Amino acid sequence: MKHKKLSLKLQLFIGYLIFIAFIFLISFLFWRFSAEIEKEVGYGEKISEFLENVLEMRRYEKNYFLYHNKEDFENLEKYFLKAKNLFEILKPQLIEFNTNIKIEKIEKNFASYEDIIKILKHLSPEKIYILEKRIREHGSEILKFAESIKREEKTVLLNYIRSTKKFFLLFGLFLSLFTLTGLLLWYKLLVDSLNTLENEIRNILSGNSRKVLVPPEFRHFVETFKKTYFTFLETEKLSSLGKLLFSIAHEINNPLSNISTSIEILKNEDLDEKFKKELFNDLENEIERTKNIIHSVLDFYKVKEKTFLNLNACINNTIHLLKGYIPSRISLKIDVPKNIEIFGNKSQIQQIFINLIKNAVEAIKDVGEIEIKAFPDKDKVKIIVKDTGEGIPKEHLSRIFEPFFSTKKKGGYGIGLFVVYNLIKEHEGNIWVESEINKGTVFYIEFPLKQRDEILREDLYETL
């Protein structure tokens, strides 16, 4: 039974929840350990205060027996009471955490010390020496106890801090490993999804209708991209068609004007027969010229399979179509041998040269030249299309064949050269470019030179 694959969005959401859970766990543990350390520090502060009071008690005890000063006795009593109160506060924790301490013994020392203080209140200074030895013994026991729990508390706190550091170090290593693993999994997930998306887009750009299963989250993007791409492609086609029609209209207008002028002249009955004959010959020539233009257009848009094409004738027909589009300030130089034949679709080959010539015309802002040169080279024909236009910036050269990339400030859709590139690849050719700012651009094209028997063998192989 097949398990349904989780969507990219759900997988990322689950990963996000796990990450949040780990953050919460870290926060909780940090709070817990912080609270424990804070508790230990508070306990340590109470022990320090207890020890300080016992020391002060012992100091005033010594002074009282040396100098018999009443003020020393009052301070002795005050610090004793403070120490006793702190002992009562600390006793529950001492019982819980220090099982080796004999609390009853310390309580007896405090009780005995308190009884002696009460007796000392009523004794004269001459008789207090009787109790000095006893009170010093009990005081010494209390001081030893205070110092011992201070040392123990310091050791416990340091051990606790060390244990906490070790725990957080191990937990940090585990969390780092978990995070790294999670990031690698997310990265692989995203890369796989993006690679699938890239393949789908490549299929769209290459015209391949084969479907690729993209993640559901990308389907809307793919559909939108497909619609946008074909919209731009149609826009570019319409743009080229508009310029071509403008050129054709200009070309047809000239012979029609000549025809109209000749007809107006022929309306005059007093014309010489010889002159009439010349006018009729002109009419015939202009009609033939118009017919050739229309045939060229029909031939260009007629859907054809690949055939052997005369490259010189193909390029000249293309220039004939664009004659009205190319301004007089731009000169054309054609150097293509008449014996070179290539195997291809005529309208597609013409589309390649239409796009390249159109781009060259737009790149030349002033007087300039477009040169088209071709020559055979072993089993290939090499074609050079060169212009003296404004050139292409070096940083853009690697991207000019990408779809939707244009160096034109306005009016460019970035489809023309992309179409050129794909049509050349479809004819098993190659194209590359060189350019220099303010000097011009050179496109180098290669097509394979195929023999007719070679094509027959390929057709036979495909049939079998």
Cβ 142 vs Cβ 106: under 8 Å: yes
Q: Residues near 334 by Cβ (< 8 Å), separated by ≥ 6?
A: 312, 315, 316, 319, 371, 372
The secondary element (H helix, E strand) that includes residue 329 is none
Predicted local confidence at residue 80, as pLDDT: 93
* 221-277 residue pLDDT tens: 667 766 776 666 666 555 655 655 665 666 677 677 777 777 777 776 666 777 677
How far apart, in whole angstroms, are the C-alpha atoms of residue 289 and residue 405? 39
Identity of the amino acid at 171: F
Max CA separation in the chain (angstroms)? 171
The sheet carrying 368-377 orders its strands as 330-335, 368-377, 380-387, 440-448, 430-436
* Cα–Cα distances in angstroms (integers) from residue 347 to residues 250, 298, 322, in the given order: 21, 10, 14
Of 24-28, 143-147, 210-214, minimum mean pLDDT range: 210-214
Higher pLDDT, 258 or 457: 258
**Taking 70 as the threshold, does the pLDDT of residue 412 lie above it?**
no
3-state secondary structure of 102: coil
Q: Is the pLDDT of residue 218 over 80?
A: no
CA 182: distance to chain centroid? Answer: 19
> Residue 93: which residues within 8 A CB-CB, separation 6 or more?
43
Compute the mean pLDDT over every residue in the chain, rounded to the nearest whole number. Answer: 79
Q: Is residue 450 classed as helix, strand or coil in its secondary structure?
A: coil
List CB contacts of 233: < 8 A, sequence separation 6 or more.
Answer: 415, 419
Report residue 401 CA to chain centroid gap: 22
Contact 359, 406 (CB under 8 A): no
What is the rounded average pLDDT of the residues 75-96?
89
Which pLDDT belongs to residue 223?
74
Give the contacts of 376 (CB within 8 A, at least 6 positions apart).
Answer: 337, 340, 382, 449
Report whether 7 contacts 215 (CB < 8 A): yes
Q: Distance between CA atoms of 307 and 210, rounded to whole angstroms?
A: 27
Report CA dihedral (68, 70, 74, 79) to the nearest 10 degrees: -30
Is 458's pLDDT higher than 60? no
pTM above 0.75, yes or no: no
Three-state secondary structure readout of 106-149: HHHHHHHHHHHHHHHHHCCCCCCHHHHHHHHHHHHHHHHHHHHH
Return the pLDDT at 356: 92
Interatomic CA distance for residues 350 and 303, integer angstroms: 13
Which two tokens mark 92?
């529950």
User: Is there a contact between 447 and 383 (Cβ–Cβ < 8 Å)?
Assistant: yes
What is the three-class DSSP state of 303? coil
Strand partners, 387: 370, 441
pLDDT band (50, 70, 90) for residue 304: low
**Long-range pairs of 274-283 with CB within 8 A, sequence gap ≥ 24:** 282/258, 283/259
Which tens digit of pLDDT belongs to each residue from 10-34? 766 777 788 788 778 877 877 887 7
Percentage, residues of the chain above pLDDT 70: 76
At 1 the pLDDT is: 43
Sign of CA dihedral 98, 100, 103, 109: negative
